[in-house]
Amino acid sequence: MNRLPYDGVVLVAPVSVPYVRYTNETAHWWIARALREVLKIIEMAPQDLDGLSVSSFTLAPDTPVGLTQHLGISPRWLDTVPMGGASGVAAMRRAARAVQCGDVDVVACVAGDTNRIDSFRNLLSAFSRFSMDATFPYGFGGPNASFALLQDAYTHKYGATREDFGRIAVSQRANALMNPQAIMKKPLSLEQYMEGRMISDPISLFDCVMPCAGSEAFVLMHEDMAVAKGLPFARISATIERTNAFPDDPMQLRGGWAVDIDELWNMAGHGPSDIDVLQTYDDYPVICMMQFEDLGFCAKGEGPEFVRRHDLTIGGDFPHNTSGGQLSVGQAGAAGGYLGLVEAIRQVTQTAGPTQVEGAKRAVVSGFGVINYDRGLCSGAAIIEGAG
Amino acid sequence: MTTPLTRPSKKDPQKRTLVPVLPPVARSRAALGLGVMAAQGRFGLQVCKDCQAIQYPPRDACLKCLSADLVWQDVASEGTIMAETTIRVSPEPYFRERMPWRMGAVQLAAGPTVNCHLHGEVGRGDTVRMALKLDKAGQGVLIALPLKGSDLMQDDLVLRAMSSDPKHRRVLISDARSPVALALTQALLKAGAAHVFLGEPEAWLAWPERAAFEGLVNVSILPLDVTDASSVTKLAAEIGGKVDILINTASYVRPGGIMGNDTNFATKSFEVNTIGLMRLAQGFAPGMTGRAQDDTNSAVAFVNILSVRALSPDANYGAFGASQAAAHSISQSLRAEFRTSGLRMMNVYIGPIEGDAWFQPLPPPKVTPNAIARTLVSALVDGLEEATCGDIARDVYARWRADALLLEREMTGGGS
């Protein structure tokens, strides 16, 4: 069955609230800051907001329901997307259909999390039942250890080297140097990457994101509304999402994108070569490499060769994670699942400022999330296009 | 190869004794089944009764057919290591004190892929034998072991932390006069125990078997009467700081049912078998729980030898059975009290002992002291919480687990 296009609904008001390493402010505070920013851009009072989608790991004991009272808003449409690194794409595609069908006119999508001292350990301890039962008792390496196993298996199956993963981290750092909001501001060379101490072999220091606090947001609305307000906007040309793909694979060497990728390109009506900028979910370089393959930019197992042949920086032939990604901007909990999408909206609306890829029209954004036990369960991807 | 453990030097009393910290304790209800298997030294997972799919991690509904009928059963323990990592950074204090820590992903021949601890003698690509072991938190965890390990494989630090291995450890056997004491002493020394202390009640009463202990190297007989609190306190003050394993062998048996029996015998049964255990625990266990994180010779296990009649009585030994049931209950309470320290409470269930005059009229099979010693030492090495020795104990224990009410009816003569 052919899927309905996302006609008449657009993405506006990309907002990134600058991250900090540690904070005593709550998730409520971070979400409120991002929400206030987007409402200012679309010139709307909080009381007039009729749709809200929230992703956060650290709102407890509240849910987004409690958050509405906390923030004094009374939406007629409320969603919560618990898909971690896939939250941005998933929140967008749900909200887009709601706006398109008229259940709601404007949806603000917000993700934010706090990071107190020791809160990352506590967050991990209660992350999921399977990880509590079946991964944390084995050395409590957290996601570092899970991705180390994945990278170990990938490396031995496809002949990747540490330098290959290093190329991804190093080029993202180069991008981050252009982004005033990135937490990591020191240049990183491939030599420094290679000298980084081992965290959970073969994952080394510069393969890891820094947990921090922050928030990200964007807004979906009717196209004519955006035009009337004079807002730069982006259209959605295709989306996919998948949860718990390939459950019988003994190790995760491919993500859910591989199930749905043909649908993504068919819906978009063009292929990977027409893409100007790619934003992947990058909690570790190995998962970026897997996205290059599973999204169709190269064949399975050719990821290492692909990164050797391409320049992944803003000015390069394959601009990737132009803001610096989580590896250099930081990982603010569920906001990490928004980072790429928010940057992609800026890119295709030519509002990215210092990280702007010249003439970027089309972007692929992909998300990956929730290491429930031994693998990431959620995947999603979207293609968005600038209107201009 | 595993680096051999060296015999620890004397403890410096001026240095801080490390406070026991535990690996992660929290588990779902379904995952507790791993501990039930590990406590008995079995390797088993949930299997769907409707479609036979093997499940991991433990869950509440079948991952193939959604049936809620999942039963724990023994499964093939072979597997292949698909990937491995050496964790060098962890936010969890237990692992931080033990970095680096190796773990891996193993695809079981039975189907599922599991995350597990890795023994030092295995790595990526190896075919391994998986085992379920109790970790210091008392929870069942998976470890990949070599198919054929070296002679030193028990010295691996990750495996040793899940074992109560007597090697380099000091053991107190509470009653030297027990028919199993000599066999146990010999088995412990053979397994590498550094010293065996034996308690001797009523030292003024001569007993011919004493001669067999005399002249044994690294063996001391010291006064200890479990029915006398001051005797327990005195010995604990003397050697309590160096008891790494305590094995309670004190037992008092008199035949007879309930209606016609002398209550003095019953009182004495409880004094020795039940309250005696409590006195030993009060005297020695606090020190042992405090030393559960010492290095090579940390305190590891408190062992109670129980008649399997603790679970379901033989009416011909009514008062004895009652005292054993009460002792079993105390064992379980102690197990709960030990949990926060990592000290292990092990119950060894036995049938009537060959050569014990008080079981003389019972027919075979009986269990020999050597068999008890062998079972107990290998259960310590394997780090079990529950072990049975002899055909009778094994049989009664299995029937009790399957259906305790049916067992009671069978014991009173039905079922032929």
Q: What is the pLDDT of residues A166-211, one digit of tens each?
A: 999 999 999 999 999 999 989 999 999 999 999 999 999 999 999 9
- How far apart CA B145 and CA B140 sit, in angstroms, is 15
Residue of B26, B85, B141 lying closest to A145 (CB–CB):
B85
Contacts A200 to B, Cβ<8 Å:
85-89
CA atoms within 13 A on the CB side of B344: 34
Selection from B310, B302, B378 nearest residue B345 by Cα: B302
A140: nearest CA partner in chain B? B90
DSSP B38-69: HHTT--EEEEETTT--EESS--SS-TTT--S-
Average pLDDT over residues B67-87: 97
Q: Where are the domains of chain A?
A: 9-118+213-229, 127-207+233-386
Structure tokens at A292: 């290059």
Q: Which single residue is written with the structure tokens 């259909």? A: A97
C-alpha distance from residue A247 to each of A250, A377, B63 (Å)? 8, 9, 10
**pLDDT tens digits, B186-244:** 999 999 999 999 999 999 999 999 999 999 999 999 999 999 999 999 999 999 999 99
Comparing C-alpha atoms, which of A355, A359, A356, A358 is closest to residue A177? A355
- Work out the minimum CA distance from B410 to partner chain A, whole angstroms: 39
3-state secondary structure A123-166: HHHCCCHHHHHHCCCCCCCHHHHHHHHHHHHHHHHHCCCHHHHH
Helical packing angle, A285-294 and A162-176, nearest 10°: 100
Please judge whether B28 and A140 are an interchain contact, meaning their C-beta atoms are less than 8 angstroms apart.
Answer: no
Q: How many Cβ pairs closer than 8 A exist between chain A and B?
A: 119
Chain A hits for B24, CB-CB cut-off 8 Å, are 125, 132, 136-137, 140
The distance of A384 to chain B (nearest Cα, Å) reads: 36
* B chain contacts of residue A152, beta-carbon cutoff 8 Å: 83-85, 124
Return the percentage of chain B with pLDDT > 70, whole number.
99
CB-nearest partner of B26 from A130, A132, A153 = A132
Tell me whether domains A9-118+213-229 and A127-207+233-386 share a fold: yes
The Cα of A250 is separated from the nearest Cα of chain B by a number of Å equal to: 6
Stretch B118-122: mean pLDDT: 98
Quick: pLDDT tens for B334-390. Answer: 999 999 999 999 999 999 998 888 888 888 889 999 999 999 999 999 999 999 999
d(CA A46, CA A209) in angstroms, rounded, equals 33
Could you tell me the two tokens for A276?
A: 């100007």
Q: Quote the longest CA-to-CA distance of chain A.
A: 57
- Mention every residue, 6+ apart, whose C-beta is less than 8 A from residue B110: B45, B54, B75, B76
Rounded Cα gap, residues B252 and A300, in angstroms: 71
Q: Which chain B residues are within 8 Å of A201, Cβ to Cβ?
A: 85-86, 88
Whether residue B19 is predicted with pLDDT greater than 90 in this model: the reply is no
Neighboring chain A residues of B87 at a CB cutoff of 8 Å:
139-141, 144-145, 148, 200
DSSP code for A232: -
Give this prediction's pTM. Answer: 0.94
In angstroms, what separates the C-alpha of B170 from chain A's closest C-alpha? 29
User: Is A253's Cβ below 8 Å from some Cβ in B?
Assistant: no
Check A148 against B85: CB less than 8 A apart.
yes
How confident is the model at residue B415, as a pLDDT?
62
Separation CA A335–CA A17 (nearest Å): 10
C-alpha A293 chain-centroid distance:
17
Cα A41 to chain centroid distance, Å, stands at 22
Contacts of B101 in chain A (CB under 8 A): 139, 141
Residue A355 phi/psi, 5-degree rounding, is -100, 10
Tell me which residue in B89, B107, B115 faces A135 most closely, judged by beta carbons.
Answer: B115
Tokens of B305: 């030898």
Question: What is the spatial distance between Cα A99 and Cα A236, in angstroms, rounded to a whole number?
Answer: 13
> In which band, very low, low, confident or very high, does the pLDDT at B11 lie, cut at 50, 70 and 90?
confident
* Coil, strand or helix at A37: helix
Q: If we measure between CA atoms, which residue out of B119, B201, B110 comes closest to residue B160?
A: B119
3 state SS of A199? strand
Cα–Cα distance list, B284 to A34, A198, A271 (Å): 60, 43, 74
Which bin fits B106, alpha (ψ -120 to 50), beta or left (φ > 0)?
A: beta
End-to-end CA distance of chain A: 30
CATH class of A127-207+233-386: alpha beta
Residue among B275, B283, B199, B276 nearest B241 (CA): B283
**A246 touching B (Cβ < 8 Å):** no
pLDDT-based confidence at B416, cuts 50/70/90? low
Q: How much is the ipTM here?
A: 0.93
pLDDT tens-place string over residues A301-336? 999 999 999 999 999 999 999 999 999 999 999 999
Inter-chain CB proximity A132 and B27 less than 8 Å: yes
Distance from CA of A162 to the nearest CA of B (A): 15
- Using the predicted structure, report yes or no on whether residue A21 has a pLDDT greater than 80: yes
Q: Judge whether A141 is closer than 8 Å to chain B, CB to CB.
A: yes
B199: enclosing H helix or E strand: strand B195-200
Phi, psi of B388 (to 5 degrees): -120, 150
Please give the residue of chain A at the shortest CA–CA distance from B90. A141
Computed over every residue of chain B, the mean pLDDT equals 95
pLDDT at B414: 65
Of A122 and A207, more confident = A207
Q: Determine the 3-state secondary structure of A334 from DSSP.
A: helix
**How is chain B split into domains, by residue range?**
32-160, 170-411
Regarding beta strands B54-55 and B44-48, do their DSSP bridges make them parallel or antiparallel, or are they unpaired?
Answer: antiparallel
Which helix or strand (DSSP H or E) is residue A116 part of? none
Size of chain B in residues: 416
Q: Cis omega before residue B365 (within 30°)?
A: yes
Q: What percent of chain B has pLDDT over 90?
A: 88
Q: Which residue of A has its CA nearest to B92?
A: A140
Say if residues A255 and A290 touch (Cβ distance below 8 Å).
yes
Q: Rounded to whole angstroms, how far apart are CA atoms B93 and B116?
A: 19
Residues B161-177: pLDDT tens digits? 999 999 999 999 999 99
Which residues does B95 contact at the CB level (< 8 Å), separation at least 6?
A139, A140, B23, B87, B101
Where residue B43 falls among pLDDT bands split at 50, 70, 90?
Answer: very high
Residue B63 to residue A247, Cβ atoms within 8 A: yes
Q: Which residues of A touch B58 (CB under 8 A)?
A: 133
Q: Check whether A276 has a pLDDT greater than 70.
A: yes
Which tokens sit at B263?
């209550």
Give how far Cα A326 sits from Cα of A113, A334, A365, B115, Å: 14, 11, 14, 27
Cis previous bond, B57, omega within 30: yes
Q: What is the average pLDDT value for chain A, to the nearest integer?
A: 96
B137: DSSP letter: T
| All residues at 6 or more sequence positions from A101 whose CB lies less than 8 Å from its CB, including other chains | none
Per-residue confidence at B295, pLDDT binned at 50, 70, 90?
confident
The chain B residues in contact with chain A (CB within 8 A) are 23-24, 26-28, 30-31, 56-58, 63, 82-92, 94-95, 101-105, 107, 113-117, 124, 135, 137, 139, 141-142
- How many Å apart are CA B386 and CA B43, to the nearest integer? 14
Q: Which residues of B touch A142 (CB under 8 A)?
A: 90-91
Q: Is B128 left (phi over 0), alpha (psi -120 to 50) or beta?
A: beta
DSSP conformational letter for B275: I
Segment (H or E) for B158: helix B157-160
Is A364 strand, coil or helix?
strand
Which of A134, A201, A202 is closest, CB to CB, to B115? A134
Quote the pLDDT of residue A388: 58
What sign has the CA pseudo-torsion A262, A264, A266, A272? negative
The second-level CATH assignment, the architecture, of B170-411 is 3-Layer(aba) Sandwich (3.40)
Strand ranges inside B309-393, DSSP E: 344-350, 386-389
Q: Which residues of A touch B104 (CB under 8 A)?
A: 149
Mean predicted confidence (pLDDT) in A237-257: 97
Does pLDDT of B107 surpass 90? Answer: yes
Average pLDDT on A7-18 reads 98
The rounded distance, in Å, linking the Cα atoms of A22 and A27 is: 12
Looking at residue A377, its pLDDT comes to 96
Tokens representing residue A316 in the block: 């390069």
Q: Above 80 in pLDDT, residue B83?
A: yes
Q: Note the pLDDT of residue A303.
A: 97
- pLDDT (mean) for B39-49: 97
CATH number of this structure's domain A9-118+213-229, picked from the four choices 3.40.47.10, 3.50.50.60, 3.40.190.10, 3.30.70.260: 3.40.47.10
- B359 close to B253: Cβ distance less than 8 angstroms: yes
What does the alpha-carbon distance between residue A387 and residue A230 come to, in Å, rounded to a whole number?
12
- Residues within 8 A of B (CB atoms), A 186-225 only: 197-203
